[in-house]
Amino acid sequence: MSDSTELLTSDIDRVADAIRAGDRFLLTTHENPDGDALGSLLGMHRVLEALGKDTVMFLAAKEFPLPVEYRFLPLEEVFHEPPADIADRVVIFLDCGNIDRMPVDFLQNGENTVINVDHHHDNTRFGSINLVDVDASCTAEIVFDLAGLLDVRLTPEMANALYVGLVTDTGKFMYENTDARSHRMAAGLIEAGVDVNEIYRRLYEHAPIEKLRLLAQALDRIELRDDGRLAVTYISMDDYASTGASESLTEGIIDHLRTIDGAAVAAVVRDQIDAGRPARKVSMRSTDGRVDVSAIARASGEGGGHRQAAGFSSELEIPEIVEFLREQYLEARAAARA
Ligand code: AMP
Ligand code: MN
Ligand code: MN
């Protein structure tokens, strides 16, 4: 066993011990929650309930309505305000690489014991206990391991929630983070009651027509730079207005850009509708792993993520962002060759 594996073993044991010892918990994740964020949040909540714990989930009101693909998850119990007894709760962050990805005052004041359960390699280890498993394909995979360690028998609802995290973060078992472990987890979840086709249909085949119209706009204006190795598109306020699509319907557009033959990096820049947020959000994917897009996100000063999937927010105008991406891409490519 390598040193890092040993460390991880003790980290997961420490988290399991802290869960056994605690009575009251508050669970949260990152803003703009994706399938892994929501799946691991709900999965962990039900695991704690099965252990007889008092548990609440928290997400800021601005996250609602959730992206349409995740609305079938039973998240009605989510709190939008801190519970009155917040001071007595252990806070568990799921799938959140740094605390600034949950910009909510009561979660940033350092007054609670914090358990940080995540799989981002650039996790800032902001917790009192940090369980950061960079080999896990998704945070749901770590929750699955924790459930096993805590002898919790998975219900179909827990399995469905964790399966959503697994399917979305592995790109339906196709991204580089997919391995035997993620397939073993899938088998375990299916045995626990996941209806595979039903989840697939809910995630990918309940799209409102506005989503396809927005996609059409985005595809129509793809720009290819550097001999087609960088593929970029953007979605502006005008596009939301002309298609009737909400911002959350941008989810998944980037997957179309990464399919272009020869594209090493795909990026989607979008205007953010909410006044409280930075003007724009950039999503990036590295298709062959040679370029570390999380480094580009960090270079922006406002982001992070995985080597192959990362994002950042920005106040720059769209052409300036495209230029920034181009410069960063060229630098990253030179670094990858060195
Ligand atoms: P997205 O492009 O929003 O689907 O995000 C892709 C990956 O980048 C996910 O793993 C996110 O957790 C991460 N990510 C996206 N935006 C940020 C950000 N502003 N800061 C840190 N990580 C981010
Ligand atoms: Mn996530
Ligand atoms: Mn994740």
Alpha-carbon distance 323 to 297, whole Å? 14
Any atom of ligand 1 within 6 Å of the Cβ of 250: no
Tens digit of pLDDT for each residue in 289-314? 899 999 999 999 999 999 999 999 99
The percent of residues above 90 in pLDDT, for the chain, comes to: 92
CB-ligand 1 contact for 101 (6 Å cutoff) = yes
CA of 30 to the centre of ligand 1 (A): 9
Q: What is the DSSP string of 309-331?
A: EEEEEE-S-HHHHHHHHHHHHHH
Nearest residue to 127 via CA among 110, 102, 106 = 110
Banded pLDDT at 1 (limits 50, 70, 90)? very low
> How confident is the prediction for the chain on average, in pLDDT?
95
Residue 4's pLDDT is 65
Q: How many Å apart are CA 334 and CA 338, to the nearest integer?
A: 6
Contact between 234 and 250 under an 8 Å Cβ cutoff? The reply is: no
Coil, strand or helix at 112? coil
Look at residue 9 in the predicted model and tell me its pLDDT.
75
Q: Tell me, what DSSP letter sits at residue 76?
A: T
pTM of this prediction exceeds 0.85 = yes
So what's the pLDDT on residue 209?
98
pLDDT score, position 215: 98
pLDDT tens for 261-280 read 999 999 999 999 987 889 99
For the Cβ of 305 lying below 6 angstroms from any atom of ligand 1, the answer is yes
* pLDDT at 7 exceeding the cut of 90: no
Tens of pLDDT, residue by residue over 149-180, are: 999 999 999 999 999 999 999 999 999 999 99
Predicted pLDDT at 154: 98
Mean pLDDT, range 248-263, rounded to an integer: 96
Q: What is the mean pLDDT of the segment spanning 85-89?
A: 97
Distance 175 CA to ligand 2 centre (A): 15
Q: What is the DSSP letter of 58?
A: B
pLDDT score, position 275:
79
